[in-house]
Amino acid sequence: MDYENIGIEVDNKVAVVEIQKGPNNFFDTDLINNLADIFEGFDAGDDARAIVLCSEGKHFCAGNDFSSNSRNEERADRKPGAPNPLYAAATRLFATKTPIIGAIQGAAVGGGFGLAVMPDFRVACPEARFTANFVKLGFHPGFGLTHTLARIIGHQQAHLMFLTGRRIGGEEAHKIGLVDVLTDKESLRDEAIKLAAEIAENAPLAVQSVRATMRVGLSDAVLAQTNHENAEQFRLQQTEDFKEGIKSVAERRSGNFQGR
């Protein structure tokens, strides 16, 4: 089956799933649901025993495009307490069974950072950049990051990234355990496939069993956390600080926040 903006190749039980919306690879709900469809399809068969998630272009995923008029209209139409379809789609990703390796080049920003945290392992190059820049937008983190990031790098490091909105490069990300394999940009895809192949050569039922144990409760926790994140995001979207944050980031300047 063909999916818009996603390429799929399978070789020797390793699937390479490529987001094809370069250079920034902004996501939307349809893209995340399509990724979930693809991963669930591999779960149901034996074509692939490990998946490499990667992107074309300069950046892995620059997150949600807050400058998009259609997305601004979608936010304006939301009601208090209404579920966020994007986070329902994200929860599907975390519930899949086949091991996933993320190949991260360039920026993984905001929700794109959340997508980069979803795989079991990350292969990145020094040029990779990770940022949970939500507070610079006058916003609350989403995509389950307030649960998943701390699970990988620890509460204190995650807390630091969230409250500063700082950006870290591939080398620092490797140092704090966010990145599992650090390699040069030219070897990024090959190294990710190499790790996926090392997993795929093992007994598939045993791999899925161990993975389920290591990720026990993860999708349920992401569901609960995204419900909370969604409520906080809705509340903050009504503030003047959020409007200023969107404007200041678009203008590449510090926000003039007034706390209202």
The per-residue pLDDT for 2 is 84
Question: Which residue, among 149, 72, 70, has the nearest Cα to 108 in the 3D structure?
Answer: 149
- Residue 1, class by beta-carbon neighbours within 10 Å (0-12 exposed, 13-18 middle, 19+ buried)? exposed
Q: Is the pLDDT of residue 254 over 60?
A: yes
Domains and CATH numbers, the chain: 6-205 (3.90.226.10)
User: Percent of the chain having pLDDT more than 70?
Assistant: 95
Model pTM score: 0.93
Cα–Cα distance, 231 to 101 (Å, whole number)? 30
For residue 121, what are the β-bridge partners?
A: 101
The amino acid present at 82, given as its one-letter code, is: A
Distance from C-alpha of 162 to C-alpha of 145, rounded to nearest angstrom: 9
pLDDT at 66: 58
pLDDT tens track for 147-161: 999 999 999 999 999
- Phi and psi torsions of 132, nearest 5°: -100, 80
Q: Where are the alpha helices (DSSP H) in 24-125?
A: 29-44, 69-77, 85-94, 111-117
114 Cβ contact partners less than 8 Å away, ≥ 6 residues apart: 90, 141, 142, 143, 144, 145, 148
C-alpha separations of 176 from 113, 124, 150 in Å: 15, 13, 11
5-55 pLDDT tens trace:
999 999 999 999 999 999 999 999 999 999 999 999 999 999 999 999 999
Structure tokens at 198: 């090392």
Q: pLDDT category, 70, cuts 50, 70, 90?
A: very low
